[in-house]
Amino acid sequence: MRDFTFYAPTRVMFGQESVSQTGELIRAAGGRRVLLHYGGGSAVKSGLLDQVCRCLAKAGVSWVALGGVRPNPRLSLVREGIALGRKEQVDFVLAVGGGSVIDSAKAIAYGLAAEEDRDVWDFYARRAQATACLPLGAVVTIAAAGSECSASSVITSDQTGEKRGYSSDLARCRFAIMDPALTCTLPPYQTACGCTDIMMHMMERYFHPGGTLALCSDGMTEALLRAMLFHTRRVMADPMDLDARGEIMWMGTLAHNDLLQCGNGSRGDWACHQLQHELGGRYDGTHGAGLAAIWPAWARYVCSSDPARFAAFARRVMGVEESEDSAAALAGIDAFTAFLREIGMPVTLGELGLSLSEEDILALARGCSFQGTRTVGTIRPLDEADMAQVYRLAR
């Protein structure tokens, strides 16, 4: 086991009716005037937003609301939120929604704490580091991105179509309200996309180089992946299965609060995420579905770099019995691809609805490699040419 730092400061309020504690939690964090941030309407339709407002009023917390966050949250709305928050002198940002709303809230919170002439995109474009962030909290409505307990946020520039992540512990939520019942209104496709993203957060950390396949981090990840296979099938069969919804919601947090990488000596691979972010920025679409469309091609492209690890995934997670590592590795990739299909996920870019020309592929690889200046992935670092080849194989 290698040395590590583990920092998970977010207070998680998990369970039925946990929403009723929102106002008090904001007060405890020093908030008195809140920017209440939400998405395209699901929280309004379900009555959740009204419930949150009642709760804020009861705790003596005032608010100004800003809705309209879209999946792949846009920089333009972030800028609007910063201007509104300044004008209204808010001291806390509350996200009511999924990863997109929470990420947009994080970006607004950076902007509100920064000097007035600082462009918040500078952080995402790697031109500057944030030194402060307004306190923020989340009422989570979808089990997926894990942003409620992660350090990262991902924003898309409306002008350039660049989708860029920025990570800092400053933006860790003060609290996360997690009531699994809130996720019962999700359409099956969004549920499946969320479950895929959760599993990918586990797998991106599992496929790290030089590991020992030791039992702590790898064993936890394998157990969680098996549990995800089980509960995802349950929730796809019965969307109102609260027990499965709860298990999945908590696993969504565990998958992305950095616990599973402790002692691995690396944050993981993350190539599929980088390849998806490039697709998401250019063509929009749901993050989890994009990951599903890329993973099979990525896995086949890189598995010869570490057949033992892919074979361990195959045997310990997917139940493959093949004894020879390379054959087991391929059987595991096939089995996971079949699972993705079973839950209605696209497993190629064509199935995702994209028909990419060679020119499109080269442009994606150019963008994902930051114009040829970086590689992505660790189990096998992918340069621009490798990225193009993975996109090609995923067609």
Q: Which residues bind ligand NZQ (CB under 6 A)?
A: 39-43, 71-72, 97-101, 103, 141-142, 144-147, 150, 152-154, 182-183, 185-186, 190, 194, 197, 256, 273, 280, 287
**Which of Zn ion, ligand NZQ, none does residue 72 bind (CB under 5 to 8 Å by kind)?**
ligand NZQ
Kindly provide the residue ranges of all beta strands, DSSP E only, lying in 51-174, ordered along the sequence.
Answer: 62-66, 92-97, 136-140, 152-156, 163-167
Nearer to ligand NZQ, 307 or 344 (CB): 344
Tokens encoding 356: 């990419």
Q: Which is nearer to Zn ion, 252 or 332 (CB)?
A: 252
User: Given the complex with Zn ion, which of 52 and 382 has the nearer CB atom?
Assistant: 382
Residues in Cβ contact with 44 at an 8 Å cutoff, skipping those fewer than 6 apart: 38, 67
Beta carbons of 239 and 344 less than 8 angstroms apart: no
Smallest distance from Zn ion to CB 38, Å: 21
User: What is d(CA 368, CA 276) in angstroms, rounded to the nearest whole number?
Assistant: 9
Stretch of residues binding Zn ion (CB under 5 A), selected from 123-131, 195-203, 246-254, 367-375: 195-203
Residue 55 or 102 with smaller CB distance to ligand NZQ: 102
To Zn ion, the closest distance from the beta carbon of 169 in angstroms equals 19
Burial of 59 (0-12, 13-18, 19+ CB in 10 A): middle
Site stretch for Zn ion (CB under 5 A), options 37-45, 192-200, 277-285, 359-367: 192-200
> Of 148, 197, 218, 258, which lies in the binding site for Zn ion, with binding defined by CB under 5 A?
197
For tokens 């407002």, the residue is 53
Region from 170-178, 196-204, 211-219, 278-286 binding Zn ion, contact rule CB under 5 A: 196-204
Tell me which stretch binds Zn ion (CB under 5 A): 169-177, 197-205, 217-225, 293-301.
197-205
CB of 203 closer than 8 Å to CB of 288: no
For 197, phi and psi rounded to 5 degrees? Answer: -60, -45
Residue 317 binds which entry of Zn ion, ligand NZQ, none, CB below 5-8 Å type-dependent: none
| Strands of the chain, DSSP E | 11-14, 33-38, 62-66, 92-97, 136-140, 152-156, 163-167, 175-178
Residues contributing to the site for Zn ion (CB under 5 A): 197
